[in-house]
Structure 1
């Protein structure tokens, strides 16, 4: 199965999980790059507001054609209970091209269900697997069993 991990990360937590998944599956990885600057307190507040309102943003052109992958694993931080604005843009631009999808998200809290619902609604698809990882778990390394379970679901879906 040909797999791509596509992610956006503002703080680095989502990137760390994306890299872990990509290394475990020995698959391609692509970071979604937002053209909007989102650093600092103002960037944090603006990003949460835009996510809550369902806004899109301009992202840099991606390198990989998602239609060439059997599975695209999409990773996002949780912003105001929603997916990050750059991921909304990425899914919107590619939703008709995805063959299969899986989702992961990172957050300071535990509000993953609304984020995954948002991703399902925009993509028009149900993921084969989804996992939420708390920022604390990323920072202390305790996320690894969750990732192993997520990868098992993905591998079982290929049978």
Structure 2
């Protein structure tokens, strides 16, 4: 049985709702990336813009378990202005290389999930699978529950595939 960890960042609480729902449906461990300093109000909004669009470092805190002890990491991140939220971006940069398999859930107001997944793939040098994009309005109204349940099942299947169907190295052709 693979060990799976959900790592999330949430400024407004929407991504937290999805993370808690996913943890309740799956039984997976849940941990949070938080801001090192508060991001409330107008100045917090300005910091979001500067860190995201200009690529400035976003100070964060992570007090969760070592990622190396997990086979599967599920990253749950909001989208800011069409990009991956800066604190999650910098957390992933600091944690690379990630162990095992990577899956991603993006929570967005309207768009940007595909770009964020590309950013995650570039940062981690891994192709996340499965990937889920959720609209904030669907999360807040409860319409995303079935999508989250389907995603959890896909992650479970992907974990089984990786364990059961992994081809032994001695079956691979050797380089001449």
Give secondary structure in 2 for the equivalent of 1:119.
helix
Report the TM-score when normalising by structure 2: 0.85
Gaps of 5+ in 1: none
Tell me how far 1:76 sits from its aligned partner.
0.9
1:110 and 2:125 matched: no
C-alpha displacement of 1:11: 0.3
Q: Which residue of 2 aligns with 1:147?
A: 148
Aligned to 2:122: 121
Match of 1:101 in 2: 102
Instruction: Name the residue aligned to 1:137.
Output: 138
TM alignment of 1:46-85, pairs within 5 A: 46-85=47-86
- Per-residue displacement from partner, 1:40-70 (whole Å, max 9, x unpaired)? 2331232033112223222224221001001
Q: Which runs of 4+ in 1 moved over 3 A?
A: none
Structure ID, larger Rg: 2
Q: Deviation of residue 150 (structure 1)?
A: 1.1
Partner SS, residue 73 of structure 1:
strand
Q: Give TM-score scaled by structure 1 length.
A: 0.93
Structure-2 residue corresponding to 1:23: 24
